[in-house]
Amino acid sequence: MNRANDEDLFPESFLWGASTSAYQVEGSPLADGAGPSIWHRFVRTPGRVFGGQTGDVACDHYNRYREDVALMKELGLTTYRFSISWSRVLPEGTGRVNERGLDFYRRLVDELLAAGIAPNATLYHWDLPAALDDRGGWLNRDVADWFAEYGEVVFRALDDRVTMWATLNEPWVVTDGGYLHGPLAPGHKNLWEAPRATHNLLRAHARAVAAYRAAGRNRIGLVVNLEPKYAASDSPEDAAAVARADAYMNRQYLDPVFFGTYPQELIDGFGEAWPEFPASDLDEIKAPIDFLGINYYKRGITRADDSVIVERATRLDNDRATVTETGWEVFPEGLTNILTWTRDRYGDVPIYITENGAAFYDPPVAFNGRVEDPLRVDYLREHLRAVRAAMQQGVDVRGYYVWSLLDNFEWALGYAKRFGIIHVDYGTLQRTPKSSARYYAEVIKARKVL
């Protein structure tokens, strides 16, 4: 084998995975003593979710996890990223522990380890216990301690077998979708709440990391979604809008964690809605993490717009681009760019691509036992190339997780958008690996993009 070929090879230690989240795949949200989450309530609020669909059944992963782990093994995955439902473990959010809820994750983790697949568990993928929402949810400063208490319970039960932990999945989406614009649970639309939610998410993250430092023996990190921002023109106004959009989306969470400060453009953007936070909070938030998880889906093209709050910027579409079923532009080089940007700004933290994938139209039922999804195959190929390119520029990327293992409940869009590399027939719950799954399995085997 010549040198050029060697350069294309991903390192042997590189982890190959797929991601899901609890509410999106598990189903049985109230089984075995679990309490309701804010998503359980949100899906029952008329007009909130496409077609009135719910996560009551989802992919029935709660009952079919063995079959799903067997499929992962067949594809050659070496890691699986899932999230833990807080209200299965603590039905009221704090206090009483529901062992039967924890047992589900014990069984899942054992099954993964038996298949040689490393579990990567996220504590919070958007499903706050409803009982805590009744106490103010992410707006109540006490949420930081509630979250640390939950973390301690889960670490105690699983840290002997789970070697990678993440505190929060995409805190930007929690604030932007849950408290500022409202398409996601708990569905608030309030400029004044958004900074408080952000700050409490970060405080909760930091307290869970601190709890882990006291009790854990493996690694813990944070998962953020990043989008490189590009200006719609070379005007100085658009350049300023890009800086604001970048501060809002990419630096809002990472600057506090790495530097202990919020970006000035963010504070200016919120204006009088931005409270003064105690300096001691930021000292606490600025604590080392063992790895950074980056979720990448698209870029943003930005134009100055004084009528838009916070970003004071409008996002534009690129008319000439390929777009996915969720209207997201396919832009693989943005992944290379955001990876080098992260390294240049925040230094050499180990990085995992914790989500990357696309919704394309797939037939609802497999035809002749097959589901062909050539667009998703192209998407994976180009994004894996983009990851490899960043690694060749010295970025320390240690693993990649495709979103998603299975077609699943895509939040307010219900089951209409399919992101899986494994097709799910929602009538029969039958799983069928798509051609993208076969392609991914070949890449994993070859350790290079094919």
Q: Which of 193, 227, 311, 355 is catalytic?
A: 355
For the bound state, the minimum distance from the C-beta of residue 355 to ligand FCB, rounded and expressed in Å, comes to 6
Pick out residues in 217-246 that bind ligand FCB (CB under 6 A). Answer: 225
Catalytic annotation present for 382: no
Which contiguous run of DSSP H or E holds residue 181?
none
Among 170, 255, 362, 407, binds ligand FCB (CB under 6 A): 170
Q: Binding to ligand FCB by residue 248, rule CB under 6 A?
A: no
Q: Where are the beta strands (DSSP E) in 183-242?
A: 219-226, 229-231
- Are 304 and 233 contacting, i.e. CB atoms less than 8 angstroms apart? no
Interface with ligand FCB includes 355 (CB under 6 A)? yes
Among 82, 86, 403, 439, binds ligand FCB (CB under 6 A): 403
Query: Rounded to the nearest 10 degrees, how much is the dihedral formed by the CA atoms of 437, 440, 445, 446?
Result: 150
- Choose between 127 and 246: whose C-beta lies nearer to ligand FCB: 127
Query: Does residue 85 belong to the site contacting ligand FCB (CB under 6 A)?
Result: no
Structure token pair of residue 381: 């190929």
* Cβ–Cβ under 8 Å, residues 121 and 158: yes
Q: Taking contact as CB under 6 A, which single stretch among the options 54-62, 166-174, 199-207, 263-271 is the one that binds ligand FCB?
A: 166-174
Q: How many other C-beta atoms are found inside a 10 Å radius of the C-beta of residue 169?
A: 24
Question: CA 421 to CA 16: how far, in whole Å?
Answer: 14
Q: Which residue in 111, 170, 265, 311 is the catalytic one?
A: 170
Cβ at position 165, least distance to ligand FCB in Å: 17
Interface size with ligand FCB, residues (CB under 6 A) = 12
Question: Is 26 a binder of ligand FCB (CB under 6 A)?
Answer: no
Give the type of residue at 257: V
Nearest to 226 by CA among 263, 173, 280, 179: 173
Q: How far apart are CB 408 and ligand FCB at their closest, in Å?
A: 8
94 vs 324, which CB is nearer to ligand FCB?
A: 324
Q: Can you tell me which of 169, 250, 252, 302 binds ligand FCB, judged by CB under 6 A?
A: 169
Query: Among candidates 196, 207, 195, 117, which has minimal Cα distance to 167?
Result: 207
Which of 419, 421, 434, 443 is in the footprint of ligand FCB by CB under 6 A? 419
Calpha distance 40→90 (Å, rounded): 15
What are the DSSP E strand ranges found in 39-154?
79-83, 118-124
Show the CA angle centred on residue 25, arms to residues 367 and 23, nearest 5°.
Answer: 150
Interface residue with ligand FCB, options 17, 21, 349, 376 (CB under 6 A): 21
Q: How many CB atoms lie within 10 A of CB 11?
A: 10
Give the one residue of 410, 421, 423, 434 binding ligand FCB; rule: CB under 6 A. 410
- Binding window for ligand FCB (CB under 6 A); candidates: 48-56, 111-119, 167-175, 271-279: 167-175
Question: Contacts with ligand FCB in 99-158 (CB under 6 A)?
Answer: none
- Does 54 engage in binding with ligand FCB (CB under 6 A)? no
96 within 8 A of 138, measured Cβ to Cβ: no
Helices (H), 361-448: 374-392, 435-446
Stretch that binds ligand FCB, among 62-70, 95-103, 165-173, 257-265 (CB under 6 A): 165-173
Three-state secondary-structure class, residue 94: coil
Q: Specify whether 265 is catalytic.
A: no
Least distance to ligand FCB, CB of residue 95, Å: 28
Name 61's Cβ contacts closer than 8 Å, sequence gap at least 6.
20, 25, 26, 27, 68, 406
**What is the Cα–Cα distance from 208 to 152, expressed in whole angstroms?**
8
**Beta carbon of residue 376, minimum distance to ligand FCB (angstroms, whole number):** 13
Q: Residues with Cβ < 8 Å from 230, sequence gap 6 or more?
A: 242, 299, 300, 301, 302
Least Å distance, CB 394 to ligand FCB, is 27
CB of 274 to ligand FCB, least distance (A): 25
Residues 290-319, mask of contacts with ligand FCB (x by CB under 6 A) = -----x------------------------
Please tell me whether residue 160 adopts helix, strand or coil conformation. Answer: coil
Q: How far is the CB of 307 from ligand FCB (least distance, A)?
A: 26
Nearest C-alpha neighbor of 208 from the set 189, 222, 223: 222
Q: Which CB, 261 or 326, lies closer to ligand FCB?
A: 326
- One of 155, 296, 411, 440 touching ligand FCB (CB under 6 A): 411
3-state SS, 3-29, equals: HHHHHHCCCCCCEEEEECCHHHHCCCC
Q: Which is nearer to ligand FCB, 274 or 360 (CB)?
A: 360
List contacts with ligand FCB (CB under 6 A).
21, 24, 169-170, 173, 225, 295, 355, 403, 410-411, 419
Name the residues annotated as catalytic.
Answer: 170, 355
